[in-house]
Amino acid sequence: MNTLISRLGGAALALFTAFSLSSAHAADKLTVAHSTWVGYGPLYIAKEKGFFEEEGLDVELTVMEDVKTRMPALAAGRIDVAVTTIDTVLTFTSPNHPLVYLFALDDSAGGDGIVANKDITSVADLKGKKVAYTEGSVSQFFLSVLLKDAGLTLADVETQNMTAGDAGAAFVAGRVDAAVTWEPWLTRGKDADHGALLVDSSTTPGLITDVAVTTEKMLAERKENLQGFYRAWAKAVDWQKANEAEADAIMAKGVGGWLEDPAVFAETRAGIVFYDGGMNVKFMDPANESGIFGTIMNAKTLGEEAGLFKLEADPKSMIASGIVQ
């Protein structure tokens, strides 16, 4: 009888322990949504090389191409973290669903730009011209900032709304005067007989930057998990620097889509910079007006002037503390 009780007690203890471990494991799961972009590749290194596991995390990486699906899914708690550009976040944050920036993933360093007819030699020369870009995208934000610096607005150009690829193709075909696009269309555009590279994102560091973002609620409840998520990212970027060829193969396979060929991935990667630990410390510092705070303020001004949103939050309060620092 005592033996039976002992066995039952042992079984109950084992069941309780298994349940506890299962619960702990579930609590450490993070679902991260992203679009198909080269800058998110190190997430797959972190998964492949066990950097997430080292931080006690079970990270599910899922592709959600449409930001209009991805960001509402974050606000509704269907995913835990989303990655997107800084300006995009401002469109989706609200008093009822406040969002916070966790850390930076990558910066466009020549991968985005404007190709234009050869007689257009400055941004100011775009006035009155047919300019193709994707409305509501980072391409619009990039163009808006450049026009603002030249004393112009989007109202000063003849907007042709189309995807970045279609914009590049339209320019090569001579149907528009300029296009805001990215590779390979920047190269194809400047190689066209009538084309030239007007400007690219290497001249605007920190402007087109992808970030990891979550909700205030998620940050409050699972800050340690999010700290681990950042540490795994930083490890992955360091590993990528030391193992470029193997890293490109891992990242291309993980990100997939039009980037599934490692050679295409490597070519596209040349136009961006991954944010490592040191870069994040500097960029995410709210006191650094050349960092994320400056980009937020640029996006806030342009977004409110265009009537896209009205930011009610203090921009500095949207930068999570204790994740990067």
Read off the pLDDT of residues 70-102 as tens digits, 9 standing for 90 and up: 999 999 999 999 999 999 999 999 999 999 999
Residue 21's pLDDT is what? 42
Confidence at residue 305, expressed as pLDDT on a 0 to 100 scale: 85
How far are the Cα atoms of 79, 90, 114 from residue 160, in angstroms, in the given order? Answer: 34, 24, 14
Rounded to 5°, the CA angle 79-308-112 comes to 75
Classify strands 99-108 and 272-274 as parallel, antiparallel or unpaired: antiparallel
Amino acid 41: pLDDT: 98
Query: Can you list the alpha helix ranges (DSSP code H) found in the chain?
Result: 2-27, 41-48, 51-54, 67-75, 86-92, 138-149, 164-172, 185-191, 216-221, 223-242, 244-255, 262-269, 277-283, 292-305
Determine phi and psi for 114, rounding to 5 degrees: -125, 125
The pTM score is 0.84
Q: What local confidence, expressed as pLDDT, does residue 306 receive?
A: 80
**How far apart are alpha carbons 46 and 55 in whole angstroms?**
10
CA distances to 129, 250, 256, 303, 304 from 210, in Å:
29, 20, 18, 18, 21
Express each pLDDT in 52-77 by its tens digit.
Answer: 999 999 999 999 999 989 999 999 99
Instruction: Indicate the angle between helix axes 41-48 and 244-255, nearest 10 degrees.
Output: 100
pLDDT at residue 23 in the model = 42
Q: List the chain residues with pLDDT less than 70.
A: 1-27
